[in-house]
Amino acid sequence: MATPPIPPPLEQLGARPFAFYPAILNVDHNEWIFRKATWSEILVANAKTGSEIWIPRRFVGEVSRIDDPIVIVGLNRELEYKGGTVWPYQRRVIEMPVAVGGLPTSQPPPPDRGAPAPIVGIRLESPTDRRIVRLIIAALGFAFVAWMVVVNLNRVGELRQRNIQFTARDEAYLELSGRDGYLAVIQKLGRPATDRWQGPGGEIQYRALGYPDRKYTVILMGGERNAATYVGTVDDNWRPVHSVPLPSGGTTSSLLRNLKRF
């Protein structure tokens, strides 16, 4: 019995909107909301029209960790929407023009009549002509590839993908959870270079454990300093790169975005 594929982290988005890349063809508005999932398919709804479609999991790729301006969900294949269902998009093959004196590839060569043809003044194709034909075919192929690149760049521009960067930085903070306190953090990440508190006694306390060599700061929160636990991680620009789920069903991302640098 085949083991079901490991589900992508799309389920963790909750009600947050996201966009597919590349965008699904024949759909004008590329903004979606996760509805539910099975072991083989994911149900999403268009944020503008409300229409729902099922997408096979094998077509769903990685989810970006940065959500500015919007979370991006990658697709392994270019899909198109038709008949209420998504299908892998099949690009039509462009038939190349037939060279002068040549025969279309779809027609068989003329049969050998066996009798000599009448002599007429025909100029044989020279090697130079063959090179010109090859250059024309190569130029057309290059133009088609360049056109495809421009189309994809335009789609990326529409989603403002230039602001999204996928990096290979240290992501050890992904091992942290909402149950971890200060001792658990230093056991997993080591001692921080800086340790700062915000908030007077008797109120919510925030603790920032800075790791400048790793380019991020770990945030703890609690009603008392000795009871503060992990709520997320921010980068050098104080933007959330990791959060923890809340009992209400959301995450601490909004809390981190509203937390001022200290």
Q: Is 53 within a domain?
A: yes
- Does 7 sit behind a cis peptide bond, omega within 30 degrees of 0 on the bond before it? no
- Give the domain-ending residue among 45, 67, 88: 88
pLDDT in tens, 45-84: 999 999 999 999 999 988 887 777 888 998 998 999 988 8
Residue 43 belongs to domain spanning: 9-88
Q: Domain count of the chain?
A: 2
The pLDDT score that the predictor gives to residue 160 is 55
Q: Is 106 within a domain?
A: no
- Give the domain-ending residue among 33, 64, 88: 88
Query: Mean of the per-residue pLDDT values for the chain?
Result: 82
Cross-strand bridge partners of residue 235: 216
- Give the domain-ending residue among 88, 112, 135: 88
Low-confidence ranges of the chain (pLDDT < 50): 5-8, 161-162, 164, 166
Q: Is 121 within a domain?
A: no
Q: Is 162 within a domain?
A: no
Distances (CA, A) of 133 to 37, 93, 99, 107, 115: 53, 19, 7, 20, 31
